[in-house]
Structure 1
Amino acid sequence: MKTQKIIPALLVAALGLTSLSSCNGTSVDTIKAMESNYDNHNKTIELTGEFDAPSFTFSSGKSKTMAMHFVVKPHAFSSEEFTAFSVILPVGTEKNSVLFELPEGQKNYSLKNFYVIDKNGEKINLDTHTTFKMKGTVHYSELEKPEAEQDKSNFSYKITDVSFEKD
């Protein structure tokens, strides 16, 4: 009788360890570092999380890039989120790009209107909340100014040369 109770208990413990091992602390640490120092300047970073629609208004339908948000969580069951802003993706239907489809006459948009095309060419709607592994290069605009004009507390960045795939 004890064996019948031990086996399910071991299975539950194994599942618990598996879910904890899928923690995303590295991505959270990377975002925290990007927002507090320049150590990642011109370096390629890797994050695991979800793309989110940017907060913007449309000025023209001719933009060739879109600054997306990329949201990471410490672990799968966490409500705490950390966002990498300004993940620059080309607009279009090529690999590693974003596509925005807003039907004529519709004024409001949601995640249903955004698609990303991953490095394998798969078109994925953001409303599915798919998890991606994303790589890109971090650039701090403040470091492009002459040193005397730099504000060492401004950690605004852009992530360019982005590639991503479903996790």
Structure 2
Amino acid sequence: MKKVNLIVTVATALSLSLFSCSSESVEIAKKLQNSYEYEGKTVELTGEFDAPFFTFSSGQSKTIPMAFVVKPGAMSSEKESISDIVLPQGADKNSVTLELGPNEKKYTLKNFNVFDDKGEKYNLDQHQSFKIKGKVHYAEFDKPEADRRADNFALQITDVTIEKN
């Protein structure tokens, strides 16, 4: 009987982890991209880092604007992607490294490593799940109120804390 209970417990835990929903993260991601509700606020999202969308202009930048993908569940094909999760470059806590050879210009997930709030290193090619917390700022709020567009939701999330999920 104990063996059956153990199997049921393990199966339940496994199914909860595989099918656990981060629908709250999806809802927040949608609102981030369609309203100014979170301006100046700290948000928490659960998902995976993705390679950023940028071109190389100089090697002098101290930050990398990473992409972050959230899904309602592990088996879901629906996803929301948020760009501009701004992380400092380096091997410190809550940072990212990009490892490319001197003449390389193309990159993939395997070229990126993130360091969580404990300083643990994770290669993004492993598709690990993380919980991030960061402060939201929309570019439109840098403009005078009369010049702001109501449909420009370009944002950055800064002061990011990364926790392995």
Q: TM-score, normalised by structure 1?
A: 0.88
Extract unaligned runs of 5+ from structure 2. Answer: none
- Offset at 1:15? 6.2
Secondary structure of the corresponding residue to residue 36 of structure 2: coil
Rounded to whole Å, the distance in 2 between the matches of 1:85 and 1:33 is: 14
- Offset at 1:157? 0.5
Could you report, residue by residue, the CA deviation over 1:91-123 in whole angstroms, capped at 9, with x for unpaired residues?
A: 111110110001233332111110011110011
2:26–2:71 contact (8 Å) kept in structure 1: yes
Provide closer, same or farther for how the CA distance between residues 98 and 16 of structure 1 changes in structure 2, counting only shifts above 3 A: closer
Q: TM-score, normalised by structure 2?
A: 0.89
Aligned letter for 2:89? Answer: V
Question: What is the aligned partner in structure 2 of residue 51 from structure 1?
Answer: 49
Could you report, residue by residue, the CA deviation over 1:32-61 in whole angstroms, capped at 9, with x for unpaired residues?
A: 111111110000000000011111111111
How many percent identity over aligned positions?
A: 53
Rounded to whole Å, the distance in 2 between the matches of 1:95 and 1:105 is: 28
Extract unaligned runs of 5+ from structure 1. Answer: 1-6
Question: What is the aligned partner in structure 2 of residue 4 from structure 1?
Answer: none
Aligned length: 163
Rounded to whole Å, the distance in 2 between the matches of 1:100 and 1:19 is: 30
Q: If you compute each CA radius of gyration, which structure gives the higher value, 1 or 2? A: 1
Question: What is the aligned partner in structure 2 of residue 81 from structure 1?
Answer: 79
Provide closer, same or farther for how the CA distance between residues 12 and 92 of structure 1 changes in structure 2, counting only shifts above 3 A: closer
- Offset at 1:144? 2.1
Rounded to whole Å, the distance in 1 between the matches of 2:111 and 2:14 is: 36
